[in-house]
Structure 1
Amino acid sequence: MLGICFRMRIPRKLEVWRLGTVSYLEALKLQEKLASDRKTSKISDTLLSLQHPPTYTLGKRRTDHNLLVPESELKNMGAELHYTQRGGDITFHGPHQAILYPILSLREIGLGARKYVENLESTMIELAALYGVKAHGLRKLETGVWVGERKIGAIGVRISSGITSHGLAFNIDPDLRYYKHIVPCGIYDKEVTSLRRETDMVLPDEEVIQEQLVSCFARLFGYSDIIWRNGSSIVIDSDSKPT
């Protein structure tokens, strides 16, 4: 009698932290602590879902020439400027933009850096499709997600010892005038757009869209067990475990 071996698929768990609006530095410190804890397996894969106040960030290439106004002028506008260790060029984060910061072990989920970035692009492409917007990625050396020649989603990641941080930003309905003060992602001849501009559909509350973005992410990365944590209920102890 022939024996049949069934391979059981172990459910993969993802903790999603809904953080609301968080300052960039606060989110950066949290990512650094969580990435350190993920590296030593103190926590499982974690996804931060949030928005930022008006903030410009530069990647590790330090392309300051793509900031078109003095930093003092940014302060007058109520915007901050921060230097980071992520990849990519200068970009803008602000209200009405959905941001995901994945803290994942790529080794455990069996992904290389390129496939990881492609999955981030696919996450935003799937979200756009829910609203009848045909988006695409993989523009030669230009990461991110595009609607025609207009950029709707940006990607800037950091991978250290196989652990990810930073991530993606999808434009729901940000004030696009902020982009006039930079060369977005170092690309001179392309516009920036938003879901609001590209769809004829009535958009639901932004919390709904952010949850849809998380759902697209979880499906593409193969997470079957999602644990939601609300920002107001998250207290970080010395081991960075939410209580």
Structure 2
Amino acid sequence: MNPVNFNKEGSQALLHFEDWGLVNYDTAVNRQLQYVEEILLGTRPETIIFCSHPPLVSLGRGTKKEDLVSWKGQVVQSSRGGRATYHGPSQIIIYPLINLNKKRPHLKEKDIHAYLRLLEKILVSSLESLGYVGFCGKLALKKNTEGLEKTGLWKGELKVASIGIAIKKWVSYHGIAINYTKDKQAFTGIKACGYLSDTITSLEEIESKLVTKENLIKALSDNFNTFLQ
């Protein structure tokens, strides 16, 4: 695990950033829970974690029986909200460990729905800063999803990132999975968040030029600092 801090020089930002690299899913969840306890005790600042996982499917609290169609790989139960989804090394995973019991200019305290919308806004703003336009979150989505959950990052009819969080004593954990590069294994044999695999895409597949992972993480870090002060 290699801590990485992307705060701008001279910034008064209180967020701490870490890059865990490729890490086992269960290990990542256990570390998050340890960090959440430290945040609650006041011994750790709010922390944004970047990482990726070996291929697996996690089953959120809202998973339905029909979500697992023919997936043959690892399956884990997860405490996050949402349904079944894929995790793999082709993704950028972001785990924001944020105290929602805190007043902020861009977020009311103890407002989980507003927090989800803010996470979407951070994704959209980060991509716009890199020249990627046309992305939106739940509220701007025009796709008819037939009652399915629309939280996430979309471009047109295609979903590029999923969001699923858990809350412990008003500190959030779990978070965001951005589909960064094309992955043939991703989303095969499952209905991710209830959607068929042809609804899910990656940044690489829909943009003519793919920004480096380092530049995308830097843009995301800047926007987390901006919107979660």
TM-score, normalization: structure 2? Answer: 0.82
Which amino acid is 2:194 matched to?
Answer: G
Question: Aligned residues, how many?
Answer: 205
Structure with higher helix content: 1
Bigger shift: residues 54-63 or 24-33: 54-63
- Partner-residue secondary structure (3-state), 1:124: helix
For residues 28-82 of structure 1, the C-alpha deviation after alignment (integer angstroms, 9 at most, x for no partner) is 1001111112122221111111111112101113424201126xx21xxxxx211
Q: Which has the higher contact order (CA 8 A, sep 6+)?
A: 1
Bigger shift: residues 104-113 or 156-165: 104-113
Structure 1: give runs of 5+ residues left out of the alignment.
Answer: 1-9, 75-79, 223-243
Matched, 1:132 2:145: no
Partners of 1:194 and 1:81 in 2: CA distance: 22
Which amino acid is 1:194 matched to?
Answer: S
Matched, 1:214 2:215: no
Matches within 5 A, 1:1-243: 11-69=12-70, 73-74=72-73, 80-109=74-103, 110-111=108-109, 112-129=111-128, 130-138=130-138, 139=141, 141-188=149-196, 191-201=199-209, 203-222=210-229
Partners of 2:172 and 2:57 in 1: CA distance: 21
Which amino acid is 2:94 matched to?
Answer: L
Q: Please say if residues 137 and 146 of structure 1, whose CA atoms lie closer than 8 Å, have aligned partners that are also in contact.
A: yes
| Cα pair distance change 1:96/1:44, threshold 3 Å | same
Q: What root-mean-square deviation, in Å, do the aligned CA atoms of Structure 1 and Structure 2 show?
A: 2.1
Partners of 2:94 and 2:125 in 1: CA distance: 15
Q: CA deviation at 1:137?
A: 1.1
TM-score, normalization: structure 1? Answer: 0.78
Q: CA deviation at 1:196?
A: 0.9
* Stretches of 4+ aligned residues off by more than 4 angstroms: none
Q: CA deviation at 1:152?
A: 0.3
Identity %: 27
